Structure formats: structure tokens, C-alpha cells
Amino acid sequence: MSSFDEADAFESASLSARAMAARPQPYLEGLNPEQRAAVLALEGPVLMLAGAGTGKTKALTARIVHLLNTGTARPNEILAVTFTNKAAREMKNRVSGMLGQTVEGMPWLGTFHAICVKLLRRHAELAGLKSNFTILDTDDQLRLVRQILDAEKVDRKKWTDRWFLLHIENYKNRAESAERVGAGNGKRADRIPGAAADGTGFQRSVGDVYIQYQTRLRELNAVDFGDLLLHVVTIFQTHEDVLKQYQRWFRYILVDEYQDTNVAQYMWLRLLAADHKNICCVGDDDQSIYGWRGAEVGNILRFEKDFPGAHVVRLEQNYRSTPHILGAASGVISGNKGRLGKELWTEAGEGEKVRLIGHWDGEEEARWIGDEVEAMQRGTRGHAPVSLDDMAILVRASHQMRAFEDRFLTIGLPYRVIGGPRFYERMEIRDAMAYFRVVTSPDDDLAFERIVNTPKRGLGDKAQQIIQVTARENGVSLVEGARLAVDAGQIKGKGGSELVKLIDGLARWSRMADAPDISHIELAEIILDESGYTGHWQNDKTPEAPGRLENLKELVKALEQFENLQGFLEHVSLIMDNESEEGGAKVSIMTLHAAKGLEFPAVFLPGWEDGLFPSQRSMDESGVKGLEEERRLAYVGITRAEELCTISFAANRRVYGQWQSSMPSRFIDELPQKHVEVLTPPGLYGGGYGAAGMAQEQPVHSSLAENAAQADGYNSPGWRRLQARASQRPMSQPKETRNTVIDLQAVSSFMIGERVFHQKFGYGAIIGIEGDKLEVAFEKAGTKKVVASFVSASDDIPF
DNA sequence: CTACAACCAGTTTTT
DNA sequence: CTGGTTGTAG
């Protein structure tokens, strides 16, 4: 059953407009003049340019409340769109808070996707779908692409499923339908490079795959996330009556984070606002950091052209950060061209300068930050103690997190990583949900495919192929196909009997789902139990297994909030977050992207090195555009800080196991000196390097020495030259490896008992030799057979 | 069909 | 380095 109730959404305005008209307006009291202007300008197009920390959400919610309170609009006449469920939730809460009552019937406050699901369910037939269509997750999408590629005999080593999916999604972000893309077949830029010459038989374009992908989706009665927008836009474009209807219904439109809209979302909004033009877009062009997934900064930059006569309000008074922090941030962002232009200011006292510190390597950086966090927690240099909850470490790329995790575990500093793999993305959760999906809708082939041999039932590629073929030949679902194949005796042995067990189980569970005397929670437990899925993890001896069982329990617990399995699945397909938080205070570690919208009294920004931040890949792939987005990311990072912002970089860093040296980020040069204090790194003055002892080996040309000497001129030419010199000189690896790699073709003789080293398994002793294969007893990894060329002799003292 | 070793690629992430 | 995928031996 869908959670969406039409009547509720459109008809039952629970708050009478007239009854509200004369109410007082306390929500206007706490607003500054600009915020107030943005709230009061209810009619016509409004662009609210809201800088970081300028009370954007406050103004936005006040605007909604004002619409309601003055009787200008009823709750169900307001379309309020956000990007994330979190933002939608917060807005809902704040509106209720301001209104002093729960918001009954604001059915159109939600994410783009959630709102589009509602719309598309109403008009599914106009998109060639049934209204109970399913929404695919990334796994399903890839499985689908893979099927198409295999059918087309595409060499998947050369062009991966991900590559195709990426392109398809890019098309969808730009609202380009398969028909349209396919029509340009062969002439367009989407032609697969080198395909014709490859001899794989696949000589066509991404457009062809896109077309087939859409065809399959329709056959499956399914959509992906991109489709939710694209289908609705297409319906609006081709059915004027439908569009008109919604233009009348949604009398007032509000959009949060407008700088993150993609072309499809932009078109969707323009269509809906075309008639009355009561659209209020809120955003900050300086915080557009999602270009790589289709966001178009151009949308916000063009607003006044799109909506002539638009009322533009700038929120520039910042309530979050100190002047030094704002000064540093605006210094950096001023390097970008084509901004709408904003200057943040604050009434806050001067505060501390942004601190800048360079380190010898990434480990020292982590060590220093760990110490600093502890010191701040204790309260140092006249500062009051800072709670760990109030500190955050914001990195450019998630692999930077490991250094901090390692260090914090060593010193026992509690931390939390935000934005890791989310609950519903974990393998065991997806498996379990795939079971639920097949039980609730037996036609869900993708889900069936996922679980048919999970846990292992002896149904490998061959058996699965038979099922596929049988299903296709008879035009039935995979479950049905499996039944037919078994009946025809095509799947024999253990696999056959296991398959029968599975099919019978599915049928039985489906019946239970309809039975009134079994709760869906019991049903879920029965499914997981009888399918053998729980047992599979109980028998698993790997260290993750207990955690996975724990997660499954949590999943079952989460079911309690829903009436039935369908309701749960519907919810999960749209809401994929899970932030259960317990325990004491912790430092947060997260990416800069994940930090957008958050704020912390103390922020650390490590890894400001050219190539890492700004990311080389961004610059290579998107040139100046890429660099500008990176710069906005820097701006976002700095403006997360309320009181103390510490930027750091390391001269050397281990990347994919290799040591690499780099120059300080070009963004460091862009920090205005008057807002920055350069700290002296600890390493030079004893102690810092500990056992590594490389301070002696690499004394003078260390960038740190220069850093200390040039405390006031870190961006001087001298500093630059020195950095360039340091990076040209290959740094010797700080931690010496003591095993020597020996060319085995040259040496070719191994002896039993000899000590060797293997990349993956570590150290071990040879206990057997067969031709070019060695049997090695590894110290940590046990006894393995390895090819001789993969081990090297170790000159460690044999034990 | 499964298990294990070899190979390979490797930002950012929401819905 | 590391995790995910592919290829091959049992």
C-alpha cells in the first residue's frame, strides 16, 4: 500500500484560511531587515541569496508560516522542495514549531524525488507504467545495465557497467530522454570511443544502451531515481491539462538549495511556476559543490533572466562565524569568476585568526590534530574547554579519514565518521530487503536474482541462466520461470531441490503476508530464518558476521514503525539514512561535502595540498570549472567554523601505499594574510618525529624549516621555490622497508625454509616448492600456495 | 560450483 | 594499501 493518499494531499485543507488571517505574527520579530523582506515578498519570483550562516532556514520557514498565517495559501497549496530528507524533516519541524501546532496537511513539503513519486503514481499510465511501479537502487540499475551489455556482447573489461550507467544518469540529469538521445545515434558525442574497431560486435552508442535500459525498466514496471524527475517533466511537457492542473494547485513554490538543481529539476520548477511565477528560490552560488552529479550553478546565476522582475534579496549578515573566519573565506571565494556577489559580515567580536600549519607528513598531521583536539577538550591558552561534539575534521576525500581514525584509536579519542556506508546500503540489509521484495511482489526479478543463490544454494551461473531463459521464453517472472524449469527437470541435484525449497518458501511467505494473524515483523523473522539467510551469517566465521546479524536485528526492529512490509519498502526506497547516535561526546570526521549545512565551534581542515585539494582529477576533468567548484568547497569548509578554524597541509603523504610529496594548496595563497596566523610545526623542536628518526636524515630542506622561518611570508616566492624543490626531490621513504626485492627469474632458486615476503600475505617461510609455485607458511595469513614471482626474498634474520 | 589467488583501479554522494 | 572483480584449479 502506498503511503500516499490523494485525498489527503489535495482536498483536506485542515487549516481554514480565514481562521488564520487575523493571527499575530511573532515569527517576524526575530528577523533582520533582509530576512524580513524575503519573507514578506510573497507574490512573484523571489531569489533569496543566502550566504553561509545567514539564517536561511529561519527565513524560509518564516515565509511558509507567513503564507499560512496570512491566509494567502492553504497548507496543501504550497510546494516546498528540498534535496535531502533531512532538510525536509527539519523544515517540517521548524514550521510546526513556529506555527505552534503540528503541520497537518503540508503534503507537498518534501524532496524533489519524494514529490515526484507522488505525482508519478497518479499519472503512471502517461509514462507507460503502472502506478505500483518500483524504484530501483544502484545495485538493481547496474544489474540491468550488465544484462544489456552481456546481451550486446559488449566487452565489459573495456567499458564497464558503471561507465554506461554514469552516462545514462548524466542524460537524465540533463532531462534528455532515451528517444531523444537515441535519435542522434552515431552522430553524437556519446558514441563509444574505439568501439567499431574493437571487433566485439558492439559498434553503437551509449544511446542504444540507454534505449534498451529504458525499455527494460518499462517491462519491469520500474523506474530509477533519475526517471522520477524525467517522467514527470515529460508528462508536463506532453499533457498540458495535467500541467495546468498542478500549476493551479501549487500556488506558491519554495525551493531550497537552488544552486544544486540539475537541468531536469530546473525544468520541472519552471514548468510549474510558468503561470503564476510565485516561486521563491533560496540558495548560495558560492556553495554549489555538486556539479559532478549534475548540479548547474547556471540555474541560480540565471534566475533574474528566467524570471524577469525577480525580487532579489541578499542575506549577508552572518550569525555563525567570527570576522577572521569570514575574512579568510571571502578571500578564497573572491578568486571565482561569475559570482552573483555577496559579502558576509558579522557583529561578532574579532575572535582568533584562522590558523595555518604545515607538517612533514600525513601521519604527523593526524598526530598534531589529535593532540590539538585533546588540548582543546581540556581547555588551553585561556580557552574554555571545548566539547568533542563541537569539533570536526573535514577532509576532501574519504581515504584521508583513515589516518585520523588510526591515530584516534591509538590515543583513545572518541570519534564518529559521518557519511559512511549507510545502513540500508549494507549488503545484509539489501539482501534481506530483496527477500521482502520478492515476497511482496513476486514479479520483482531483480530482487529474485539477488537472493536466488544467497545464501549459496548450489545455483550458479548455469542454473540461473536456465531460469532466465525459461522465464523469457514463457513470458513470465523469474520466480515462475524457476518453477517451470524445475518442473521440467532442467535443474537437477542439490541445486534443484534447494530451488524448490526456495520457491515453496516464497509462495508460503506471500500467503502469510496476506494472513491477518501474522504480523509483518514475525513474517520478516520467518523469512530470514527459513530462507537460511540468518543461518548463513551465524555460520560465517569472519569478524564482520556478528555485526551483520546485529544489523539484521535492527532492520526487523525498524519494521515496527510500519504497517506492513510494502509500506516499509516504499519508505526505504526513498529514505536511505540512518543516524542513530549514542554514547558520549565524539569528534566528527567527515568529507567537506557531508559538512555542508553543518557548523562547529572548532573545525580542522587537513590535507590542503595541490592535487588533493584542489583535487587533481577535478581540474583535469573540468578545468577552470572544476577548480572553481573546489574553491567553493574550500569556502564551504572554512565557513563551517564558528570560532576556530585550523587549516593544515603535509609535505609528504602516503597515497595508495606510495609516498608522494606535494605543494601546499593554491587556496592557501588565497587566504588573506591579515586573517591568518601561521603556526610553527612541532617536529623541528624535538620529540615530534619519535622513533622514525627522519628529522635527522632530512633536516634542512624540510619545508617545515622554511615554514617556521617564513612565518609571515608563507606565500612568498621563496616559500614557493622551496616547496617546488622539496617536491622535485624524491623523498626517501620515512619508514624503511627492510626486505629487498629480488628478481626471481634471475635468482630462480628458492630453498625450503627460506624466509620470504608477499605483497598481500606478509612474511612467511617456504615449506614446499613445485615448479614455479611455492607453498609458504605465512605468519599472519596461514599456509598458501603462491606463484614464485609474487614473493620476494626477505633479508630479515630468519627465525 | 566454489574457493582462492591474481589483477586492477582508485573524489566528492543524494535520492 | 585495499576492496572488488575476474580467472582458474580442484
Q: How far is CA A267 from the centre of its chain?
A: 24
pLDDT-wise least confident of A272-286, A640-654, A673-687: A673-687
Q: Which residue is nearest to nucleotide B8 (CA to C1')?
A: A157
- Measure, in angstroms, how far nucleotide C5 C1' is from residue A554 CA: 30
Q: Is the CB of A626 under 7 A from strand B?
A: yes
- Measure, in angstroms, how far nucleotide B8 C1' is from residue A757 CA: 21
- pLDDT of A640 reads 96
Q: Is the CB of A780 under 7 A from strand C?
A: no
On whether the CB atoms of residues A335 and A631 are closer than 8 A, the answer is: yes
pLDDT band at residue A231 under the 50/70/90 scheme: very high
Q: Cα–Cα distance between A106 and A88 in angstroms, integer?
A: 11
Q: Cα–Cα distance between A290 and A169 in angstroms, integer?
A: 14
List of A residues 283-322 with CB within 7 A of strand B? 292-293
Closest CA to A476 of A443, A519, A517: A443
Strands (E), A242-305: 252-255, 279-283
On whether the CB atoms of residues A431 and A534 are closer than 8 A, the answer is: no
List of A residues 562-581 with CB within 7 A of strand B? 574-577
Cell numbers for A497: 531441490
Q: Cα–Cα distance between A319 and A758 in angstroms, integer?
A: 56
- Measure, in angstroms, how far nucleotide B8 C1' is from residue A658 CA: 16
**Is the per-residue pLDDT at A556 higher than 50?**
yes
On whether the CB atoms of residues A265 and A257 are closer than 8 A, the answer is: no
> Which nucleotide is at minimal CA–C1' distance from A117?
B15
Q: Which nucleotides of B are covered by protein (CB under 7 A)?
A: 1-7, 9-15
> Which nucleotide is at minimal CA–C1' distance from A113?
B15
**Is the per-residue pLDDT at A78 higher than 80?**
yes
**Is the per-residue pLDDT at A292 higher than 50?**
yes
The 10 Å CB-count burial string (b at 16+, else e) for A454-469 is bbebebeeebbebbbe
- Measure, in angstroms, how far nucleotide B5 C1' is from residue A257 CA: 48
On whether the CB atoms of residues A109 and A92 are closer than 8 A, the answer is: yes
> Which nucleotide is at minimal CA–C1' distance from A783?
B4
**Is the per-residue pLDDT at A509 higher than 60?**
yes
Taking CA A680 as the corner, what is the angle to CA A675 and CA A683, rounded to the nearest 5 degrees? 150
- pLDDT of A766 reads 76
Tell me the longest C-alpha to C-alpha distance in chain A. Answer: 95
Instruction: Please name the residues in contact with A639: beta carbons below 8 A apart, sequence gap of 6 or more.
Output: A52, A53, A320, A321, A325, A326, A329, A344
On whether the CB atoms of residues A307 and A279 are closer than 8 A, the answer is: yes
- pLDDT of A647 reads 96
Q: Which residue is nearest to nucleotide B9 (CA to C1')?
A: A656
- pLDDT of A733 reads 31
**Is the per-residue pLDDT at A486 higher than 80?**
yes
> Which nucleotide is at minimal CA–C1' distance from A790?
B6
Q: Is the CB of A309 under 7 A from strand C?
A: no
- Measure, in angstroms, how far nucleotide B5 C1' is from residue A566 CA: 42
pLDDT-wise least confident of A278-287, A298-307, A373-382: A373-382
> Which nucleotide is at minimal CA–C1' distance from A464?
B1
Cell numbers for A538: 551465524
- pLDDT of A248 reads 93
- pLDDT of A543 reads 63
Q: Which nucleotides of C are covered by protein (CB under 7 A)?
A: 1-2, 6-7
Q: Which residue is nearest to nucleotide B11 (CA to C1')?
A: A397
List of A residues 479-498 with CB within 7 A of strand B? 495
- Measure, in angstroms, how far nucleotide B11 C1' is from residue A501 CA: 45
pLDDT in tens, A584-623: 889 999 999 999 999 999 999 999 999 999 999 898 888 8
Q: Cα–Cα distance between A511 and A360 in angstroms, integer?
A: 65
User: Region A664-675: what's the mean pLDDT?
Assistant: 93
Q: Give Cα separations from A491 to A230, A310, A480, A760 (angstroms).
A: 42, 67, 14, 39
- pLDDT of A148 reads 82
Q: Mean of the per-residue pLDDT values for chain A?
A: 79
Task: Name the residue with higher pLDDT: A491 or A777.
Answer: A491
Q: Give Cα separations from A123 to A105, A131, A228, A573 (angstroms).
A: 21, 7, 12, 19
User: Region A528-552: what's the mean pLDDT?
Assistant: 79
Instruction: Please name the residues in contact with A657: beta carbons below 8 A apart, sequence gap of 6 or more.
Output: none
**Is the per-residue pLDDT at A3 higher than 90?**
no
Task: Name the residue with higher pLDDT: A783 or A170.
Answer: A170
Q: Is the CB of A736 under 7 A from strand C?
A: no
**Is the per-residue pLDDT at A685 higher than 50?**
no
- Measure, in angstroms, how far nucleotide C2 C1' is from residue A21 CA: 62
On whether the CB atoms of residues A511 and A521 are closer than 8 A, the answer is: no
Q: Is the CB of A759 under 7 A from strand C?
A: yes
Q: Is the CB of A362 under 7 A from strand B?
A: no
User: Region A262-278: what's the mean pLDDT?
Assistant: 94
> Which nucleotide is at minimal CA–C1' distance from A402?
C1
pLDDT in tens, A445-468: 888 888 888 888 888 778 888 888
- Measure, in angstroms, how far nucleotide B13 C1' is from residue A290 CA: 9
> Which nucleotide is at minimal CA–C1' distance from A225?
B15
On whether the CB atoms of residues A375 and A679 are closer than 8 A, the answer is: no
On whether the CB atoms of residues A325 and A639 are closer than 8 A, the answer is: yes
pLDDT band at residue A8 under the 50/70/90 scheme: very low
Q: Which amino acid is at A2?
A: S
Q: Is the CB of A455 under 7 A from strand B?
A: no
Helix (H) or strand (E) holding A635: helix A616-638
pLDDT band at residue A735 under the 50/70/90 scheme: very low
Helix (H) or strand (E) holding A768: strand A762-770
List of A residues 641-680 with CB within 7 A of strand C? 656-657
**Is the per-residue pLDDT at A289 higher than 60?**
yes
- pLDDT of A196 reads 43
pLDDT-wise least confident of A333-337, A350-354, A566-570, A724-728: A724-728
Task: Name the residue with higher pLDDT: A579 or A676.
Answer: A676
Starting at the earlier edge strand, list the strands of the sheet with A279-283.
A109-111, A78-82, A252-255, A279-283, A46-50, A311-315
**Is the per-residue pLDDT at A189 higher than 70?**
no
- First vs last C-alpha separation in chain A: 67
Q: Which residue is nearest to nucleotide B10 (CA to C1')?
A: A656
Q: Is the CB of A799 under 7 A from strand B?
A: no
pLDDT in tens, A129-139: 998 898 888 87
pLDDT band at residue A241 under the 50/70/90 scheme: very high
Q: Cα–Cα distance between A270 and A251 in angstroms, integer?
A: 13
- pLDDT of A262 reads 94
List of A residues 319-358 with CB within 7 A of strand B? none
Q: Which residue is nearest to nucleotide B14 (CA to C1')?
A: A84
- Measure, in angstroms, how far nucleotide B13 C1' is from residue A671 CA: 28
Task: Name the residue with higher pLDDT: A451 or A760.
Answer: A451
User: Region A430-457: what's the mean pLDDT?
Assistant: 86
List of A residues 636-665 with CB within 7 A of strand B? 656-657
Instruction: Considering only CA atoms, give the Rg of chain A.
Output: 30
Where in the sequence numbering do the catalytic residues of A fall?
Answer: 56-57, 256-257, 287, 640
**Is the per-residue pLDDT at A60 higher than 90?**
yes
- Measure, in angstroms, how far nucleotide C7 C1' is from residue A760 CA: 18
**Is the per-residue pLDDT at A709 higher than 70?**
no
Q: Which residue is nearest to nucleotide B5 (CA to C1')?
A: A786
Q: Is the CB of A501 under 7 A from strand C?
A: no
Cell numbers for A228: 522520477
User: Region A424-451: what's the mean pLDDT?
Assistant: 84
Q: Is the CB of A799 under 7 A from strand C?
A: no
Length in residues, chain A: 799
- pLDDT of A127 reads 92
- Measure, in angstroms, how far nucleotide C1 C1' is from residue A722 CA: 30
pLDDT-wise least confident of A12-26, A296-310, A752-766: A12-26
Q: Is the CB of A532 under 7 A from strand B?
A: no
User: Region A279-303: what's the mean pLDDT?
Assistant: 93
- Measure, in angstroms, how far nucleotide B7 C1' is from residue A421 CA: 25
> Which nucleotide is at minimal CA–C1' distance from A622?
B11
pLDDT in tens, A149-178: 877 777 666 677 888 888 889 899 999 888
pLDDT-wise least confident of A193-207, A691-705, A719-733, A738-752: A691-705
**Is the per-residue pLDDT at A706 higher than 50?**
no
- pLDDT of A763 reads 64
Q: Which residue is nearest to nucleotide C1 (CA to C1')?
A: A657
Please state the φ and ψ torsions of residue A174, each to the nearest 5 degrees: -90, 10
Task: Name the residue with higher pLDDT: A329 or A578.
Answer: A329
Rounded to two decimals, the pTM is: 0.76
> Which nucleotide is at minimal CA–C1' distance from A160?
C5
- pLDDT of A307 reads 93
Cell numbers for A786: 603462491
Q: Which residue is nearest to nucleotide C5 (CA to C1')?
A: A157
- Measure, in angstroms, how far nucleotide B10 C1' is from residue A134 CA: 32
- Measure, in angstroms, how far nucleotide B11 C1' is from residue A518 CA: 47
Q: Is the CB of A162 under 7 A from strand B?
A: no
Q: Is the CB of A618 under 7 A from strand B?
A: yes
Q: Cα–Cα distance between A593 and A452 in angstroms, integer?
A: 37
- pLDDT of A633 reads 96
pLDDT-wise least confident of A198-207, A445-454, A664-673: A198-207
